[in-house]
Amino acid sequence: MKVDLSTTLGRPVSILSQIYGTTSAAKAYESHRLHPEIFEPDSWDMSSGRNFEEWLDPRFLALIERARHVSSSEDEGEETEESPIEAARDGEEAAAGHERAGAPGGYSFYGSEDEEDEEDKAARVVEQAAARRGAAAAAELESAGLLKIEAPGVYSFPMFSTQFCSLFLEEVDNFYLTGIPARGPNSMNNYGVIVNDIGLRPALNMVQQQLVLPLVSALFPLEGAQLDGHHSFMVRYRADGDKGLDMHTDDSDVTLNICLGREGFKASGLTFCGKFGTPDHRQFTSKVKHQIGRAVVHLGQQRHGADDISLGERNNLIIWNHNLAYRQSDVFLRRMQRYEREGGPPDDRCLSFTHDKDWLTYRKAYPAGQEELADRAWCPPKNKRHRAWGGLDHLA
């Protein structure tokens, strides 16, 4: 069967659309910049950054240095073996021209290991080997007191100083005040802005390569082996706007989510569930509490949602990191086609009114104004509902 994966992810963002360029919003805003140093790539260069150490938590600098050491140690121990990303590239020629995640048309799913051919099994072995390496790296970084394992594949750590968080929020507030038109962040958030569009792409390219890549290549050796594009945006939550965000997955290979605050917000965290297409896709794994300056990193395929805010305002900088070589690999394409039968009834905390076609079975009613989503819901795909389900799944 086929399912349109464009509804499972945020608004698709073409890697090709991220070719360097200046948007009209960026040009219009350039003369209004409040803190121009934030926009300068050199400010984020580890070898010469003028404001570098003031903007970053010193624990984060220690974390990426240790992550580099962990990665180099692993590489030395596997000199004669093919790395996960090299294995992923093996199927690159066969994959040429295939639709990417989130593109219209979707994929045909297969399910259990019994349905896999030899290439499917080989892809799964590559994924599992990379996951073991990443988990071992995370354990070492956590034992050093530099990172917290929130759940398998979900990690948090201090990243930005409070000074930088305030500085960045001042800049974004200043942009809003200009009234310059700019695109919203994605298809699910109503409040925020794509910061790439207002002139921050060059600086965030440097952030991605010098700060994000060393860490995610250790934690996610397959998906984070290289990073060559990003969709970066601000989201805002408060009682009179977006209070929270429904369960979803991201159109990213690795997502970095940094809380910038404001001071005084309450009851606004992230709830994480399983990975897309796995038996525990809709099973709860952890709840992460947001703290100003602290980052959370996870795979885009991890189902998650933003809990409703009860007081104040929370702003987050989110970087959807893309790895084009991985997305062109046979391993990626076969993972996107794999959807295993659910292991059991979904956890109530992991249900999505946007995506789950059995929402009414468990929740009885849609949120006000969201009833039309029932016609577009897709999850779980046909014949992938848990075996305890008593309905006619073959008709679903």
What's the pLDDT band for 47 if we cut at 50, 70, 90? confident
347, 283 contact by CB (below 8 A):
yes
- Which residues are paired to 179 by β-bridges? none
* Cis peptide bond N-terminal to 84, omega within 30: no
- Bridge partners, residue 306, by sequence: 245, 270
Q: Does 112 score more than 80 pLDDT?
A: no
74-104 exposure pattern, b = at least 16 Cβ within 10 A, e = fewer: beeeeeeeebbbebbbbbbeebeebebbbbe
Q: Is the pLDDT of residue 50 over 50?
A: yes
Q: What pLDDT score does 93 carry?
A: 36
Dump pLDDT digits (tens) for 262-298.
888 886 799 999 999 999 999 999 999 999 999 999 9
CA distance readout (Å), 219 to 153, 294, 314? 8, 17, 27
Longest Cα–Cα distance in the chain: 63
Taking a C-beta distance cutoff of 8 angstroms, is the pair 281, 351 a contact?
A: no
| Terminal Cα distance for the chain, rounded | 12
Q: What is the dihedral of CA 205, 210, 214, 215, to 10 degrees?
A: -70
Yes or no: say if 266 and 314 are a contact pair by the CB < 8 Å rule: no
Q: Which two tokens stand for residue 171?
A: 């800049």
96 versus 156: the higher-pLDDT residue is 156
What does the alpha-carbon distance between residue 383 and residue 388 come to, in Å, rounded to a whole number? 12
pLDDT of res. 18 = 42
* Domain spans of the chain, in order of start: 2-395
Element of type H or E holding 167 = helix 162-178
Q: Is residue 22 scored above 70 in pLDDT? A: no
**Residue 185 has what pLDDT?**
87
CA neighbor of 101 nearest in space, from 244, 231, 247: 231
Distance CA 32, CA 393 (A): 57
What is the model's pLDDT at position 390?
A: 58
CB 158 within 8 A of CB 57: yes
* Mean pLDDT, range 348-356, rounded to an integer: 96
User: Which residues lie across from 154 on neighbouring strands?
Assistant: 151, 298
| Reported confidence tier of residue 76, pLDDT bands at 50, 70, 90 | low
**pLDDT tens digit sequence for 169-203:** 999 999 999 999 988 888 788 789 999 999 999 99
Of 37 and 94, the one with more pLDDT: 37
Please give the pLDDT value at position 80: 44
Does residue 253 contact residue 324 with C-beta atoms inside 8 Å? Answer: no
pLDDT over threshold 80, residue 69: yes
Query: What's the fold here for domain 2-395?
Result: Jelly Rolls (2.60.120)
Is residue 82 scored above 90 in pLDDT?
no
Q: Round to whole Å and give the CA distance between 388 and 154.
A: 29
pLDDT class of 26 with cuts at 50, 70, 90: very high
Query: What count of other Cβ atoms lies within 10 Å of the Cβ of residue 198?
Result: 26
Nearest to 385 by CA among 350, 349, 358: 358
For the cut 50, the answer to whether the pLDDT of residue 96 exceeds it is no
Structure tokens at 32: 């209004």
Task: Count other Cβ atoms within 10 Å, centred on residue 108.
Answer: 9
Euclidean distance between CA atoms 1 and 105, whole angstroms: 11
- C-alpha 53/C-alpha 300 separation (Å) is 29
pLDDT the model gives residue 49 = 61
**Is the confidence at residue 100, as pLDDT, over 50?**
no
Per-residue model confidence (pLDDT) at position 5: 29
Question: What confidence score (pLDDT) does residue 239 get?
Answer: 84
User: So what's the pLDDT on residue 327?
Assistant: 96
Q: What's the DSSP call for residue 388?
A: T
Q: Which pLDDT does position 361 carry in this prediction?
A: 92
Arithmetic mean of pLDDT over the chain: 84
CA distances from 305 to 101, 272, 273, 285, 343 (A): 20, 7, 9, 12, 21
pLDDT number for residue 72: 82
